[in-house]
């Protein structure tokens, strides 16, 4: 296949030299060129065939002249039937000339096997591209910035729809880039490992600073001008073989840059510039072109490429297709290097259906919320609208994403969150609780070392609502940019008439978020996904409308539906496609289930299915189709899916094997009734491989669970509890949600002792996090069910779990200031301990001590001393004199005597405590320092400041060695010294230590 280079040089003395195949052919006058440029710029040739032919003959004559070199090339090509490539290089000022019109009595590019390639560089002449033996891979992207002038806005969805309808039957593996943005292009190209063809459609223009640009979208859909350098940067990791910049004038020069004299200048066509950077072949348009004409050209090019034709043949075939209508074939321009043009794919490949994009889910930043890792379709404007909200450009900083079940709300939110990778994420799924909210926020604040946040979240004096508001107005505004996401929020709503309201138990949990989301000033956001809009009235306002931007997600239609349909392999092949699409109603989940039915149509009575679905709403259709699929799979599978609904959390396969369901998991996943996620394997002993976790898809879980009888549900709760019990006992990892689930299932089956076993662990867990109120809420559900009958059972069975729960529950009450009620529950716990262990046991001693401390808080110090002494007696008998618990008991008694005013008695017990501590710990220990401080305070109270100062100084010396200069204990000790010196009248030293105390406070 001959390659002939035709080069027109810059003008010298009013003449352009024309070199053909490396030799000088002739010269052309600058004046003649100027006349052709004028003729070109009137644009009559664009739509008028006769004008085009006339201009084409003049251009042909310009290159041929009397030497007839060009004609000789044409004759040779006609004689031997070979294709000839004219590699054309011209100065910048001649780039506007439409050499594609070359005419010597007929159109050269239509009638003869002649191809014009606008040469950008001589590279690649000896490089032969290897043909693929698989379908052509193509990435399509339509750009339509919302802030372009109305007459310029491209219907990106229509463009996507056109491309699908035109090339859907070809041997092309096509992917759609859904954002229309430069970053989206880059990520799609990387994710796809590169493509043979990238097609970008939209509008182009010229910027005085950037040169030729393509009009792409930013993350909120507004105009982003993209230069050739920016475009190359996005695709350079995997450059395509062919890039089609289907925008007006992407292959033409701009009048605004006409002062340039070199083709390599800023006004060179965008297609030229990107080809020069490294893309082998680039297609562009010389002038504005109609959308329809551009699509017809592109379609024919891709058809030819897909069957194994070269790009030269493909372009020629596309031109010939539109020969009779003329416009727009002359506008199409091909830019490239000197590499031989060969087919991208091997000719003669058997046409095969391209594999659809498989839906693959992943967890959203290690949460239970599932989003699509691949297979996400469309929703561009929804995503962009959500981004505007999260960036604070919509007038509200909260977002409500609502729509029917299965419509893809979570996946949409997932796409939004992926745009804000620098933000922290906290997710609450389904039914919300105060404990869960506080715990997850605390974990975030602790992980991010937020001192202010931890002070707020662990405050015992601040109520829940105030904590949330303060966090939004401080930490989430100034420190941590965070998205707080409530998923499946409809589980917290109830219906009254035709409207939905927040359930009573959830009002106070969600309300402070909506009241104060604006306080974060856009640095953090609240996002809620729900099937329904809802009402939450406060001070005469509906907070859901005043605080949340409403983004209603609709069913797929138009291009989005076409893209989704392409992924539904079996619906696309079925003769009942219209039926499936009608009842799928553009709902992604329904369409996926109908695709399952289409795969095995012979098993189903489609007429009966249609009769059942006619006139029904989405929720009925979801439940009905899931049930039909399960029943059709067989009785055993149907029973399995109903029973599996007992497990609300993602769990390992062994949970289902416990009731014989393990064999059905793969089928459930295949039928999309069960969801699966890959999770890192924990260190466990129950035999689970620990990689995959499974759960019934939430959209049908409640419906199918409700079909079991009361007895069956109780039986399944028992299975679930047994699995959680075994997993928690055998696992080295802590899973707070599994603990909650164990408590839930135990309560549902009436196993109060089983519930206590894990409610007490939760109580301990919340206590360690200093979240007493939140732990109390969880434990209260169980504590209220501990009847006298349960206690009798516990005593008979020597079961310590109930005692432990009562003790942790009492401890939470105590720490929250409800000392009287705490004593009552401590005493219940004590009664069980005495029955199980007898009097002389450490747990009994702890209970006596706890009761003593509660009486002390109530001000009954004699009662407190009585219980402390009971505790001390047991510890002395169990441990002997030299033990930390004995020292602790002596100290408590000393404190009580000090508060009673018997300071000498207090000192005696403090000294006993100190003596043990010195023997057990040595001198340099915080407990020893505490004893020195207590003794110092006692001497100060007795009016002996010298003794007091001596002990305070001993305490400070130890604490400085242990903690350094900045620590609360250091500050307290310096304050003690300041107080004593002030008592002695030494105000100078008092002020000195007061200042040190202030400096020591961290």
DSSP conformation letters of 391-407: TT-SS-SEEEEE-STTS
Structure tokens at 109: 């590019």
Q: Indicate whether 425 pLDDT > 50.
A: yes
Q: Are residues 425 and 467 in the same domain?
A: yes
pLDDT in tens, 627-663: 888 889 899 999 999 999 999 888 999 999 888 888 8
- Rounded to whole angstroms, the Cα distance separating 161 from 295 reads 11
Helix (H) or strand (E) holding 29: strand 23-29
Q: Measure CA 248 to chain center.
A: 36
Q: Which range (250-254, 694-698, 807-811) has the least confidence?
A: 250-254
Structure tokens at 942: 């007795």
- Owning domain of residue 78: 3-119
Angle between helices 504-516 and 434-447 (to 10 degrees): 40
User: In this structure, what CATH number is given to the domain that contains residue 421?
Assistant: 3.40.50.300
Kindly state whether residue 841 falls inside one of the protein's structural domains: no
Among 37, 39, 64, which Cα is nearest to 53's? 39
Q: How many helices (H) and strands (E) does the chain have?
A: 42, 27
Q: Indicate whether 712 pLDDT > 90.
A: yes
Q: Measure CA 150 to chain center.
A: 33
Q: Are residues 220 and 321 in the same domain?
A: yes
- Rounded to whole angstroms, the Cα distance separating 353 from 356 reads 9
Q: Indicate whether 133 pLDDT > 60.
A: yes
pLDDT in tens, 889-929: 999 999 999 999 999 999 999 999 999 999 999 988 999 99
Q: Are residues 297 and 424 in the same domain?
A: no
- Rounded to whole angstroms, the Cα distance separating 643 from 648 reads 11
With helix as H, strand as E and coil as C, how does 150-203 read?
Answer: HHHCCCHHHHHHHHHHHHCCCCEEEEEECCCEHHHHHHHHHHCCCCCEEEEEEE
Structure tokens at 27: 């010269």
Residues 6+ apart with CB under 8 A from 117: 85, 86, 87, 88, 312, 334, 335, 336
pLDDT, the chain, mean: 86
Q: Indicate whether 436 pLDDT > 60.
A: yes
pLDDT in tens, 204-233: 988 888 889 999 988 888 899 999 999 999
107, β-bridge pairs? 103
pLDDT of residue 554: 67
- Reported confidence tier of residue 261, pLDDT bands at 50, 70, 90: very low
Q: Which range (124-133, 135-144, 495-504, 571-580) has the least confidence?
A: 124-133
The mean pLDDT of 69-82, rounded to a whole number, is 86
Q: Are residues 103 and 146 in the same domain?
A: no
Q: Indicate whether 101 pLDDT > 90.
A: yes
**Preceding omega of 526 cis (within 30 degrees of 0):** no
Q: Indicate whether 356 pLDDT > 50.
A: no
Cα 176–Cα 181–Cα 187 angle in degrees, nearest 5: 65
- Rounded to whole angstroms, the Cα distance separating 691 from 681 reads 5
Tell me the C-alpha to C-alpha distance, in Å, between residue 12 and each of 17, 58, 258, 265, 764. Answer: 8, 22, 18, 19, 91
The mean pLDDT of 781-802, rounded to a whole number, is 88
Among 202, 341, 189, 213, which Cα is nearest to 280's? 341
Q: What is the pTM of this model?
A: 0.66
Q: Are residues 87 and 203 in the same domain?
A: no
- Reported confidence tier of residue 143, pLDDT bands at 50, 70, 90: confident
Q: Are 144 and 153 in contact (CB under 8 A)?
A: yes
With helix as H, strand as E and coil as C, how does 468-523 read?
Answer: HHHHHHCHHHHHCCEEEEEECHHHHEEEECCEEEECHHHHHHHHHHHHHHHHHCCC
pLDDT of residue 559: 56
Under DSSP, the state recorded for 371 is: E
pLDDT in tens, 740-776: 899 999 999 999 999 999 998 888 888 888 788 888 8
Number of domains the chain is built from = 4
pLDDT of residue 558: 60
Q: Are residues 48 and 158 in the same domain?
A: no
- Reported confidence tier of residue 683, pLDDT bands at 50, 70, 90: very low
- Reported confidence tier of residue 46, pLDDT bands at 50, 70, 90: confident
User: In this structure, what CATH number is given to the domain that contains residue 930?
Assistant: 1.25.40.10
Kindly state whether residue 870 falls inside one of the protein's structural domains: no
Q: Are residues 209 and 104 in the same domain?
A: no
Q: Are 877 and 839 in contact (CB under 8 A)?
A: no
- Rounded to whole angstroms, the Cα distance separating 601 from 614 reads 19
Residues 6+ apart with CB under 8 A from 726: 686
The mean pLDDT of 330-349, rounded to a whole number, is 88
Structure tokens at 844: 């009994």
3-state helix, strand, coil in the chain (%, to 5): 55, 15, 30
- Count of CA atoms in the C-beta half-sphere (13 A) of 268: 23
pLDDT of residue 260: 41
Q: Are residues 410 and 290 in the same domain?
A: no
- Count of CA atoms in the C-beta half-sphere (13 A) of 343: 18
- Rounded to whole angstroms, the Cα distance separating 111 from 78 reads 10
pLDDT of residue 874: 92
- Rounded to whole angstroms, the Cα distance separating 528 from 250 reads 43
Kindly state whether residue 865 falls inside one of the protein's structural domains: no
Q: Are residues 176 and 307 in the same domain?
A: yes
Q: Indicate whether 369 pLDDT > 60.
A: no
The mean pLDDT of 60-88, rounded to a whole number, is 88
Helices (H), 769-860: 772-783, 788-797, 801-815, 819-837, 842-858
Identify the domain boundary among 523, 552, 581.
Answer: 552
Residues 6+ apart with CB under 8 A from 370: 361, 362, 363, 364, 410, 411, 675, 677
pLDDT of residue 338: 84
Three-class DSSP category at 559: helix
Kindly state whether residue 377 falls inside one of the protein's structural domains: yes
Residues 6+ apart with CB under 8 A from 435: 766, 771, 774, 775, 777, 778
Q: Indicate whether 403 pLDDT > 90.
A: no
Number of neighbours of residue 996 by Cβ within 10 angstroms? 18
Three-class DSSP category at 674: strand
Q: Are residues 179 and 280 in the same domain?
A: yes
Q: Are residues 99 and 199 in the same domain?
A: no
Residues 6+ apart with CB under 8 A from 992: 978
Kindly state whether residue 198 falls inside one of the protein's structural domains: yes
- Rounded to whole angstroms, the Cα distance separating 267 from 254 reads 6
Identify the domain boundary among 327, 342, 374.
Answer: 327
- Rounded to whole angstroms, the Cα distance separating 408 from 785 reads 40
Kindly state whether residue 572 falls inside one of the protein's structural domains: no
- Rounded to whole angstroms, the Cα distance separating 55 from 533 reads 64
Identify the domain boundary among 494, 517, 552.
Answer: 552
Q: Are residues 181 and 226 in the same domain?
A: yes
User: In this structure, what CATH number is given to the domain that contains residue 234?
Assistant: 3.40.50
The mean pLDDT of 959-973, rounded to a whole number, is 88
Kindly state whether residue 816 falls inside one of the protein's structural domains: no
Kindly state whether residue 227 falls inside one of the protein's structural domains: yes
* CA-derived radius of gyration, the chain: 39
Q: Are 652 and 688 in contact (CB under 8 A)?
A: yes
Q: Indicate whether 474 pLDDT > 90.
A: yes
- Rounded to whole angstroms, the Cα distance separating 522 from 398 reads 9
Tell me the C-alpha to C-alpha distance, in Å, between residue 828 and each of 280, 311, 811, 823, 959. Answer: 83, 86, 13, 9, 39
């Amino acid at each position: 296949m001959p390659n002939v280079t035709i080069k027109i040089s810059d003008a010298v003395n009013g003449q352009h030299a024309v070199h053909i195949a490396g030799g000088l052919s002739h010269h052309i006058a600058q004046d003649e060129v100027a006349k052709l440029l004028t003729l070109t710029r009137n644009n009559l040739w664009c739509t008028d065939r006769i004008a085009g032919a006339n201009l084409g003959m003049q251009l042909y004559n310009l290159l041929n002249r009397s030497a007839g070199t060009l004609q000789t090339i044409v004759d040779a090509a006609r004689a031997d039937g070979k294709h000839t490539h004219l590699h054309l290089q011209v100065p910048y000022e001649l780039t506007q000339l439409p050499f594609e019109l070359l005419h010597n009595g007929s159109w050269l590019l239509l009638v003869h096997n002649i191809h014009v390639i606008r040469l950008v560089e001589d590279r690649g002449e000896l490089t032969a591209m290897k043909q693929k033996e698989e379908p052509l891979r193509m990435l399509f992207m339509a750009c339509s910035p919302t802030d372009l002038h109305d007459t310029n806005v491209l219907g990106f969805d229509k463009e996507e729809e056109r491309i699908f309808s035109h090339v859907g039957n070809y041997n092309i593996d096509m992917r759609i880039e859904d954002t229309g943005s430069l970053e989206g292009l880059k990520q799609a190209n990387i994710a796809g490992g590169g493509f043979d063809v990238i097609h970008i459609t939209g509008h182009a223009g010229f910027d005085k600073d950037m040169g030729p640009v393509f009009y792409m979208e930013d993350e909120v859909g507004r105009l982003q001008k993209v230069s050739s350098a920016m475009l190359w940067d996005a695709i350079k990791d995997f450059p395509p073989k062919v890039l089609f910049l289907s925008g007006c004038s992407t292959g033409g020069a701009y009048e605004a840059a006409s002062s340039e004299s070199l083709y390599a200048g800023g006004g060179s066509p965008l297609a030229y510039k990107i080809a020069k950077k490294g893309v082998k072949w680039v297609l562009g348009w010389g002038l504005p072109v109609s959308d329809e004409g551009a699509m017809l050209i592109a379609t024919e090019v891709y058809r030819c490429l897909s069957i194994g034709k070269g790009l030269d043949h493909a372009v020629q075939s596309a031109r010939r297709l539109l020969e009779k209508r003329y416009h727009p074939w002359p506008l199409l321009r091909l830019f490239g290097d000197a590499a031989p043009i060969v087919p991208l794919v091997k000719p003669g490949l058997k046409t095969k259906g391209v594999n659809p994009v498989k839906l693959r889910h992943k967890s959203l930043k290690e949460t239970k919320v599932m989003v699509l890792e691949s297979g996400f379709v469309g929703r561009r404007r929804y995503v962009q609208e959500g981004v505007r909200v999260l960036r604070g450009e919509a007038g509200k900083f909260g977002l409500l994403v609502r729509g029917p079940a299965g419509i893809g709300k979570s996946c949409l939110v997932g796409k939004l969150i992926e745009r804000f990778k620098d933000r922290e994420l906290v997710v609450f799924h389904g039914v919300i609780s105060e404990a869960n909210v506080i715990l997850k926020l605390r974990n975030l604040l602790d992980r991010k070392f937020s001192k202010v946040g931890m002070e707020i979240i662990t405050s015992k004096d601040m109520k829940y609502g105030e904590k949330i508001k303060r966090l939004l107005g401080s930490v989430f505004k100034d420190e941590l940019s965070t998205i707080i996401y409530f998923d499946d929020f409809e589980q917290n709503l109830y219906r009254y008439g035709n409207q939905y309201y927040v359930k009573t138990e959830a009002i106070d949990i969600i309300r402070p978020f909506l009241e104060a989301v604006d306080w974060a000033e856009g640095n953090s956001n609240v996002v809620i996904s729900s099937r329904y809009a809802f009402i939450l009235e406060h001070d005469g306002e509906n907070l859901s409308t005043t605080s949340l931007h409403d983004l209603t997600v609709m069913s797929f239609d138009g291009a989005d539906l076409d893209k989704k349909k392409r992924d539904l392999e079996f619906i696309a092949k079925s003769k009942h496609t219209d039926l499936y699409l009608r009842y799928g109603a553009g709902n992604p989940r329904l369409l996926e289930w109908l695709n399952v039915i289409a795969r095995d149509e012979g098993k189903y009575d489609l007429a009966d299915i249609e009769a059942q679905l006619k006139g029904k709403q989405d929720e009925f259709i979801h439940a009905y189709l899931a049930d039909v699929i399960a029943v059709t799979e067989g009785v055993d599978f149907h029973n399995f899916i109903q029973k599996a609904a007992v497990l609300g959390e993602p769990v390992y396969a062994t949970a289902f094997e416990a009731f014989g369901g393990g064999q059905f998991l793969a089928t459930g996943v295949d039928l999309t009734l069960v969801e699966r996620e890959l999770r890192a394997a924990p260190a466990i002993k129950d035999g689970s491989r620990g990689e995959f976790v499974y759960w019934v898809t939430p959209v049908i879980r409640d419906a199918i669970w409700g079909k079991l009888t009361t007895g069956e549900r109780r039986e399944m709760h028992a299975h679930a509890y047994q699995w959680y019990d075994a997993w928690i006992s055998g696992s080295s990892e802590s899973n707070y949600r599994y603990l909650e689930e164990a408590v839930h299932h135990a309560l549902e089956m009436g196993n109060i002792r089983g519930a206590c076993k894990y409610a007490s662990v939760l109580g301990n867990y919340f206590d360690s996090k200093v979240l007493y109120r939140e732990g109390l809420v969880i434990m209260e559900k169980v504590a209220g069910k501990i009847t006298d009958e349960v206690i009798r059972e516990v005593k008979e069975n020597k079961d310590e779990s109930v005692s432990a729960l009562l003790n942790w529950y009492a401890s939470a009450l105590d720490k929250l200031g409800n000392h009287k009620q705490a004593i009552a529950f401590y005493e219940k716990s004590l009664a069980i301990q005495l029955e199980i262990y007898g009097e002389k046991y450490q747990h009994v001693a702890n209970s006596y001590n706890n009761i003593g401390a509660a009486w002390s808080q109530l001000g009954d110090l004699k009662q407190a001393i009585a219980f402390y002494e009971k505790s001390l007696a047991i510890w002395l008998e169990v441990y002997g004199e030299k033990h930390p618990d004995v020292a602790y008991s002596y100290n408590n008694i000393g404190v009580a005597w000090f508060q009673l005013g018997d300071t000498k008695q207090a000192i005696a017990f403090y000294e006993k405590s100190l003596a043990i501590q010195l023997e057990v710990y040595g001198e340099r220990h915080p407990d020893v320092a505490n004893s020195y401080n207590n003794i110092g305070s006692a001497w100060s109270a007795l009016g002996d400041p010298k003794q007091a100062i001596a002990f305070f100084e001993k305490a400070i010396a130890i604490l400085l060695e242990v903690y350094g200069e900045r620590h609360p204990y250091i500050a307290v000790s310096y304050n003690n010294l300041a107080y004593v010196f002030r008592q002695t009248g030494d105000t100078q030293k008092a002020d000195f230590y007061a200042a040190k105390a202030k400096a020591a406070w961290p």
